[in-house]
Amino acid sequence: MNSSLPSNSSSNSNSGGNISGGSGTGGGSGTGGSSAGPSGAGNNTSLKVLEAYTRDVGRGIARIDYDTMDSLAVSTGDVVEIRGKRRTTAKCLPLYPSDEGKGIIRIDGLVRNNSGIAIGDTIFIRKIKAVPAEKAIVAPLEAIPPIDERYLADALESVPIIKGDNVMVPYFGGRLTFQVIGVTPANADAVLVTQKTIFHIAEKGETLRGVPQVAYEDIGGLREESYDRHKI
């Protein structure tokens, strides 16, 4: 789930939050080594994309190994930019020990969709600064029941988002899918949802791009998380 998307940074994003140009997969070696990456970006590392751990699905998380974290000067919980055909963001956590040294990044189907890539593709990743989101405007990608907009801040708390991202919210055993069509402050590399973030739900059809193709892991994971939330 998740986050979405305007930036005045060197990401060269357009009004929909998508990056222009590039091969789509970053063209990296997938070995986890440092690379010059896309023009204008600093201290990039190229990594091969694998599926997320089940516990991470829908949480806007990217897992990389400790060597990569060190090379990017990233600490646990920092926000990173992921560049494929588009740019998106995620919160960084370390991989499990069994995945160390493989030059991989584990992200869920929603983050992959937001960056326009698939399992096995190569992406570029770099550290960015995320600021607290003051406001976020989202448009539903499907018919939704009446919902308290304040619930979105609770469901997406601590998830980094940018304009153009799709986010999914657990809802009574299922999920609701929205696209972020605006955030404040608008000039940040990314914004982080907090309990104080004010959400506004726009009319269906005001999206910037199409409905995502959601991987099975996303739905399964969100159902699991929704159950956990209600159990707690």
CA-angle at 107, arms to 230 and 49, nearest 5°: 160
CA-angle at 122, arms to 118 and 128, nearest 5°: 100
Yes or no: say if 199 and 191 are a contact pair by the CB < 8 Å rule: no
Which is nearest to 106 in space by CA: 176, 32, 163?
32
- 120 & 151 share domain: no
Which is nearest to 84 in space by CA: 54, 41, 52, 55?
41
Region 226-232: mean pLDDT is 40
User: Could you report the per-residue pLDDT of 47-58, keeping only the tens digit for each?
Assistant: 999 999 999 998
- 216 & 153 share domain: yes
Q: Indicate whether 163 pLDDT > 60.
A: yes
Residue 3 in any domain: the answer is no
Region 18-23: mean pLDDT is 35
Give the pLDDT band of residue 38 (cuts 50, 70, 90).
very low
Give the pLDDT band of residue 44 (cuts 50, 70, 90).
confident
Burial call 67-94: b when 16+ CB within 10 Å, e when fewer: ebbebbebeeebbbbbbbbbbbbbbbbb
> Per the structure, how many domains does the chain have?
2
- 96 & 39 share domain: yes
Region 9-16: mean pLDDT is 39
Q: Indicate whether 196 pLDDT > 70.
A: yes
User: Could you report the per-residue pLDDT of 88-107, keeping only the tens digit for each?
Assistant: 999 999 999 999 999 999 99
More confident position, 27 or 116: 116
Give CA 135 to chain center in angstroms: 18
Region 27-41: mean pLDDT is 43
More confident position, 152 or 58: 152
pTM (predicted TM-score): 0.72
Return the C-alpha torsion angle 58, 216, 199, 207, nearest 10: 140
C-alpha to C-alpha distances, 103 to 161, 186, 223, nearest whole angstrom: 25, 33, 30
Q: For residue 35, what is the domain's CATH number?
A: 2.40.40.20
Amino acid code (one letter) for 225: E
Region 30-46: mean pLDDT is 55
C-alpha to C-alpha distances, 71 to 65, 94, 103, 125, nearest whole angstrom: 10, 13, 12, 11
More confident position, 17 or 72: 72
User: Could you report the per-residue pLDDT of 56-92, keeping only the tens digit for each?
Assistant: 998 999 999 999 999 999 999 999 999 999 999 999 9
Residue 10 in any domain: the answer is no
C-alpha to C-alpha distances, 127 to 17, 90, 176, nearest whole angstrom: 17, 10, 29
Which is nearest to 169 in space by CA: 177, 160, 180?
177
Query: What's the pLDDT score for residue 9?
Result: 39
Q: How far apart (Å, rounded) are the C-alpha atoms in residues 230 and 89?
A: 27
Domain assignment of residue 48, given as a range:
31-129
- 42 & 110 share domain: yes
Query: What's the pLDDT score for residue 27?
Result: 39
Give the pLDDT band of residue 115 (cuts 50, 70, 90).
very high
